[in-house]
Amino acid sequence: MVLSYQQIAELEQKMGTSFFLLDVEKVRSNYKKIDDAFRSRYNRFIIGYSYKTNYLPFMCKEMDKLGAYAEVVSRLEYDLAIKIGVKSNRIIFNGPLKTEDDIHTALEQGSILNIDSLYEIDFIQNYCRKNKNKQVKVGLRVNFTISDNGVSTLQEGYGVSRFGICVANGNFEYALNKLKEYKNIKVIGLHGHFSTSERKVETYSRITKGLCKLAKEYLTETIEYIDIGGGIYGEIPSSFNINTPSFDDYAESVCSIMNTEFEEGERQPYLILEPGISMVANTFSFYAKVIEGKKVQETHFVLIDGSVHNIKPTMHKRNLPMQLIKQNYNKYQTARYNIVGYTCMEKDYLAHDIEGELPEPNDYIVFENVGAYTIVFNPPFIKERPGIIAIDQNEFYIVRRRESLREFFNEHLYVFQ
Ligand X SMILES: Cc1ncc(COP(=O)(O)O)c(C=O)c1O
The binding site for ligand X (CB under 6 A) comprises 50, 53, 71, 94, 193, 195, 229-231, 274-278
Which CB, 18 or 50, lies closer to ligand X?
Answer: 50
Instruction: Say which residues have a Cβ less than 8 Å from residue 13's Cβ, sequence separation at least 6.
Output: none
Backbone angles phi, psi at 233, to 5 degrees: -75, 145
Which CB, 106 or 391, lies closer to ligand X?
Answer: 106
Nearest Cα to Cα of residue 92 among 257, 268, 228: 228
Which CB, 16 or 96, lies closer to ligand X?
Answer: 96
Nearest Cα to Cα of residue 285 among 62, 51, 2, 6: 2
Contact 37, 354 (CB under 8 A): no
CA 64, 69, 73, 78 dihedral sign is positive
CA 213, 266, 185, 74 dihedral sign is positive
Which CB, 52 or 289, lies closer to ligand X?
Answer: 52
Where does residue 405 rank: exposed (0-12), middle (13-18), buried (19+ CB within 10 A)?
A: exposed
Which CB, 276 or 387, lies closer to ligand X?
Answer: 276
Minimum Å gap between C-beta 275 and ligand X is 5
Tell me the C-alpha distance between 108 and 88, whole Å: 10
Minimum Å gap between C-beta 284 and ligand X is 14
Minimum Å gap between C-beta 193 and ligand X is 4
User: Helical H runs in 235-347?
Assistant: 247-261, 277-280, 308-311
Which CB, 115 or 340, lies closer to ligand X?
Answer: 115
Residue number with the shortest CB distance to ligand X? 276
Minimum Å gap between C-beta 71 and ligand X is 6
Nearest Cα to Cα of residue 395 among 5, 6, 7: 7
Nearest Cα to Cα of residue 127 among 148, 147, 152, 110: 110
Minimum Å gap between C-beta 317 and ligand X is 20
Minimum Å gap between C-beta 376 and ligand X is 11
Tell me the C-alpha distance between 240 and 277, whole Å: 15
Contact 321, 237 (CB under 8 A): yes
Minimum Å gap between C-beta 164 and ligand X is 9
Which CB, 18 or 278, lies closer to ligand X?
Answer: 278
* DSSP SS3 for 85: coil
What letter does residue 265 receive in the DSSP assignment? S
Element (H, E) at 201: helix 201-218
Tell me the C-alpha distance between 231 and 250, whole Å: 11
Element (H, E) at 179: helix 171-180
Which CB, 94 or 310, lies closer to ligand X?
Answer: 94
Minimum Å gap between C-beta 281 and ligand X is 8
Which CB, 279 or 304, lies closer to ligand X?
Answer: 279
Minimum Å gap between C-beta 229 and ligand X is 5
